[in-house]
């Protein structure tokens, strides 16, 4: 596979953002790992303002290498992939497990979009993807464990069990006497 340099990757990300009508904002004030997507169709019309003529906006650190390119494409994927932004669905989630499942779905969709449209998908880009997804997998596992723990009966303290039995015996005797 042909190797692309950072300039070519940055140009490609900018070309994709223009072609899909996504505003790509590269900001040196952001750390390399900081990025966000704003899908316009998820904003109420009164909040769209300067983005009204765009599909959305992506804010990221300037693309300086293949990992920055992957992050930028991933954020564009949040705007354009059909399941890339499930904000409203997450707000209506009936449980933490459902919310974390939806988060993971949107992350996977955005990464699939990025990989599909990338000029090349390198080992470093895959590592960034896997690192990012691992935190969402961990969040889902934690939510599942908490949900399971809340459904699992807790062991009864032996002293509490003895007291409860004594109260039950006393009530039973009172009923027999009355």
Q: Each residue of 62-103: pLDDT tens digit?
A: 999 999 999 999 999 999 999 999 988 988 999 999 999 999
Task: Give a yes or no: residue 122 inside a domain.
Answer: yes
Domain that holds residue 61: 6-177
Task: Give a yes or no: residue 104 inside a domain.
Answer: yes
Task: Give a yes or no: residue 1 inside a domain.
Answer: no
| Number of other residues whose CB lies within 10 A of the CB of residue 144 | 15
pTM of the model: 0.81
Q: Each residue of 119-157: pLDDT tens digit?
A: 999 999 999 999 999 999 999 999 999 988 887 665 666
> How many domains is the chain partitioned into structurally?
1
Residue 164 has pLDDT above 90, yes or no: no
| Average model confidence (pLDDT) across the chain | 88
Distance, C-alpha 4 to centroid of its chain: 29
Task: Give a yes or no: residue 21 inside a domain.
Answer: yes
pLDDT of residue 160: 59
Which string of b and e fits 38-66 if b means at least 16 CB within 10 Å?
A: bbbeeeeeeeeeebeebbbbbbbbebeeb
């Amino acid at each position: 596979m042909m190797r692309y340099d950072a300039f070519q990757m940055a140009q490609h990300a900018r070309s994709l953002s223009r072609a899909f009508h996504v505003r790509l904002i590269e900001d040196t004030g952001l750390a390399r790992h900081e990025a966000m997507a704003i899908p316009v169709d998820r904003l109420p019309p009164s909040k769209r303002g300067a983005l009204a003529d765009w599909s959305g906006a992506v804010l990221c650190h300037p693309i300086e290498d293949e990992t920055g390119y992957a992050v930028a494409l991933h954020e564009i994927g949040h705007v354009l992939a059909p399941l890339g932004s499930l904000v409203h669905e997450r707000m209506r989630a009936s449980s933490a497990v459902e919310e974390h499942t939806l988060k993971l779905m949107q992350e996977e969709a955005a990464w699939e979009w990025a990989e599909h449209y990338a000029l090349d998908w390198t080992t470093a880009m895959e590592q960034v993807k896997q690192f990012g997804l691992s935190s969402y997998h961990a969040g889902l596992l934690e939510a599942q464990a908490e949900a399971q723990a809340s459904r699992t009966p807790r062991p009864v303290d032996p002293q509490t069990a003895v007291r409860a039995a004594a109260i039950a015996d006393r009530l039973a005797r009172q009923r027999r006497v009355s």
